[in-house]
Structure 1
Amino acid sequence: MTNFSFCNPVRVEFGKDKEKKIGKYMSEFDAKKALVLYGSERVRQSGLLDVVEKSLRENGVEFVLLGGVKSNPVLSKVKEAIKLAREFGADSVLAVGGGSVLDSAKAVAAGVCYDGDVWDFFTGKSPTSALKIFDIITLAATGSEMNQGGVVTNEATKQKYSLHSDCLYPKVSVINPLLQASVTREYLVYSASDIIAHSIEGYFTAASHPELVRMQIEANIKTVIRTTEILLADPNDYDARAEFAWAATLALNGYTYLGVDGFSYPNHMIEHAISAVTDCAHGAGLSVVMPAWMKWYALKNPAAFERFASEIFGKSTALEGIEALKAWFDKIGTPTSLSRVGVTDANLAEVIQVALMHSKDWGMSDIYMRESLEAIFNLAK
């Protein structure tokens, strides 16, 4: 187990009706003026936004609203929000929605406190200060509610990159599983794919991986598989919804990377190229990439793939485990072929070109060259 430092300062308020206290939680951190950022009108139609506004008013938190954050958040929206937050004099950002809204909120929080272009934070510069960040999560997938990173797409350059800084940890994250019950069937299964992808990146690519962490990852993946099937049958099963939500948080809050060394995020790197070009849902793109990448990569770490096959699906060989995962994706209805996420013969070359740009910028170009990317995409057809 390699040396590590671990500090996760996020306060999680988990459970029923926690969103009703968001104003109280924010006032405890002396938030006075908040930009409330959200995505679709689902949060208004469900009544959640009314609950939020009432709680903020009761606790003396002034606010201004901005909706319209899309599922693959874009730089132009972040810049719009930065402008509004500055004009309002915001000292905090409250994200009400899924990971895309929270990722945008983190970029906004950093951008308001910076004189330059916020895109600098996605291309090498790290923010040193930010507005206070709070969130109410309505979709379990990204784990952004308990980490210090966020992903945004630059529409002009097709770069789908991330920013990271300790100043971007949320102060309080509210996770009420009931708020996630209205998520569509499609986004439930896309979320399952996303959580599994967060779990396997280090599991398969790390040079050093503690046994304890492997067991934690396996438990998380098995929880996602079990609860997804329960929720597809009964979307209102609270206990399954709660476990699914917490599994999403655990997959990317740093806990499953403690003592892990020499890992990378190839599935995310490749998928970011796909969704940057086609604007497909992130989890949908991941369920296409994962089985293909696993077939291509398996011989580089056969022991991990054989263990995955045995522990997750009770199979004997690496290939059987990969096929079992793909079969499960097919069973729950998340895509497993490129055509299902908008990649065709007409735009495949562009996707590969973007992936090459990403592999270079992510420091992975020694492995993910044109030849290897073409092989992976061929396996995904």
Structure 2
Amino acid sequence: MDNFTFCNPTQIEFGKEKEQEVGKHLHVIGAKKVLLTYGSERIKKDGLFDTVVKSLKEFNIVFIEFGGIVSNPLLSKVYEGINVAKANKVDAILSVGGGSVLDSSKAIAAGALYNGDVWDFFLGKAAVEKALPIVDIMTLAATGSEMNCGGVVTNDATKQKYAIQSPFLFPKVSIINPLLQNSVSKEYLVYSASDIIAHSIEGYFTATIQPDIINRQVEAIITTVMETTEKLLKDPKDYDARAEFAWAATCALNGLTYVGTSGFGYPNHMIEHALSAICNVPHGAGLSTVMPAWMRWYKVKNEAQFTRFAKKIFGLDDASKGIDALEAWFNKVGTPTKLSQMNISRNTLDAVIDNATENATYFGMPELYTKEAITKILTSAL
């Protein structure tokens, strides 16, 4: 186990009706005027918006609506949000939605208190030194953004899908009511499962130092996600399954699965960011396509860990069979495992490969993930 420092300041409020207390939490942090960010109009149709507004009014908190944030969130929308936040002099951000809304909100929170271009933070040209406080209500479990200090946004002008990260971007309070996620579509449920598994395996397979306790935590998250996904496909209103799925999503990327590890990278995300930046595929769908292809290419570099994965997750004694079993499970639940399922052909792939090769430098892995290596991985997924 390597040396580590661990701190996670986010307060989690988990359970039924917790969203009714959002006004109180904002009041506690001193918020008086918030930018209320969200994605689709679903939060208005299902009554969540009215619940939030009622709670805000109880504490005399003024809100400015900012909706229309899309999956694979865009920098242009972040710029718009920053302008609205500055013009209205808001003192906090209230994010109501999934990871795309929260990731955008983090960028807006940083940009609202910055005189330069918020994209500077994504490029590493500047560090976030302050940000508006963030409170969120999660309506989709996938990214884990509710309990970490990072966010991913696509620059729609340059097609770069990059990340912002700073201790100032930890949400102050994150509200997770599993009941609010009952209306998530079957497609986005399985895409979310893929995203959670991807978060879990990046360090698990690539770390040069990987403590056994972390191996076990990762394996518990993956098996929980697989079991609860199948239960939710049969019964979307299974509260216990929904709750465990939601908490697994949070734990997969709140820092706990990387405690004491070192020497790891995020190659699956590196490659998938190119797919979704160029082709605008759902992030989780891209990951379920990339993962089996990457695993087959990378397996020889850490065969013992792949053998462990096969045994612990699927009860198999062969590394390759474990990869096949994961791919079969993705197919079983209905998330893509081939690029052709997302209408991506070899002709389309050149732009994706170029983008991913650029990402390899951004992610700090250009020596291993050359254009030739990325081409081999992606063409094997056609």
Q: Which category describes the TM-score, using the shorter chain as reference length? A: over 0.9
Indicate the residue corresponding to 2:133 in structure 1: 132
Q: In the TM superposition, what are the counterparts of 1:222-241 in structure 2 within 5 Å?
A: 222-241=223-242
- Residue pair 1:280, 1:342 contacting (<8 A) in 2 also: no
- Cα drift, residue 360 of structure 1: 1.3
Residue 283 of structure 2 aligns with an amino acid whose one-letter code is: H
Contact 1:278–1:342 (Cα < 8 Å) also in 2: no
Measured after TM superposition, the shift of residue 345 of structure 1 is: 2.4
**Structure 1 Cα separation of the partners of residues 187 and 32 of structure 2:** 38
Normalised by the size of structure 2, how large is the TM-score? Answer: 0.99
Residue 341 of structure 1: CA displacement?
2.5
Higher alpha-carbon deviation: 57-66 or 317-326: 57-66
Aligned match of 2:173:
172
For 1:64, the aligned partner's letter is I
Distance in structure 2 (CA, Å) of the matches to 1:341 and 1:39: 23
1:350 maps to which residue? Answer: 351
TM-score (norm 1): 0.99
Q: Report the equivalent of 1:199.
A: 200
| Helix, strand or coil at the partner of 2:346 | coil
Is contact 2:346–2:379 with CA below 8 Å preserved after alignment? no
1:120 match:
120
CA distance in 2, matches of 1:174, 1:228: 21
> 2:272 and 2:43 mapped to 1: Cα distance?
28
Report the Cα distance in structure 2 between the residues aligned to 1:342 and 1:213, rounded to whole angstroms: 37
What residue number does 1:266 align with?
267
Counterpart in the other structure of 2:215: 214
The letter for the 1-side match of 2:209 is S
Aligned residue for 1:346, secondary structure, equals helix
Q: Which letter maps to 2:105?
A: A
**Gaps (5+ residues) in structure 1?**
none
How far, CA to CA, are the matches of 2:273 and 2:340 in structure 1? 16
Distance apart, 1:361 and its partner CA: 1.5
Runs of 4+ in structure 1 off by over 6 angstroms are none
Structure 2 equivalent of residue 330 of structure 1 = 331
Shift in Å at residue 342 of structure 1?
A: 3.5
Whichever residue aligns with residue 208 of structure 1, its letter is: I
For residues 275-332 of structure 1, what are the alpha-carbon distances to aligned partners after superposition, in whole Å with 9 as ceiling and x for unaligned?
A: 0011010000000000000000000000110000000001111100000000000000
State the number of aligned residues: 381
Alpha-carbon distance in 1 for matches of 2:120, 2:57: 35
**Distance (whole Å) between structure 2 residues aligned to residue 44 and residue 342 of structure 1:** 33
Provide the rounded CA distance (Å) in 2 between the counterparts of 1:360 and 1:99. Answer: 25
Structure 1 residue 339: Cα displacement? 1.6
Distance 1:337 1:274 in 2: 12
Do the aligned residues in 1 keep the contact of 2:310 with 2:319 (CA within 8 Å)?
yes
Residue of structure 2 in register with 1:146 after alignment: 147
SS of 1:110's partner is helix
**Contact conserved, 1:126 with 1:163, CA < 8 A, in 2?**
no
Counterpart-to-counterpart distance in 2, 1:69 and 1:166: 24
Q: How far 1:126 moved relative to its partner?
A: 2.0
Q: Secondary structure, in 3 states, of the residue corresponding to 1:13?
A: strand
Task: Assess if the C-alpha contact under 8 Å between 1:326 and 1:336 holds in 2.
Answer: yes
Distance 2:39 2:305 in 1: 38
Match of 1:188 in 2: 189
Moved more, 184-193 or 42-51: 42-51
Contact 1:274-1:343 at 8 Å conserved across structures: no
Aligned counterpart, 2:379: 378
**Other-structure match for 1:52:** 52
Per-residue CA deviation, residues 215-252 of structure 1 (Å, 9 max, x unaligned), is 01000100000000000000000000000000000000
Q: Equivalent residue of 1:347, what SS?
A: helix
Task: For 1:314 and 1:221, locate their aligned partners in 2 and report how far apart those are by CA, in whole Å.
Answer: 14
For 2:132, give the aligned amino acid.
L
Aligned-residue RMSD, C-alpha? 0.6
Question: Where does residue 68 of structure 1 map in the other structure?
Answer: 68
- Please give the secondary structure, in 1, of the residue aligned with 2:347: coil
Q: Is 1:10 aligned to residue 10 of structure 2?
A: yes
Quote the Cα distance in structure 2 between the aligned partners of 1:372 and 1:224.
30
Please tell me the residue identity of whatever aligns with 1:308.
Answer: F
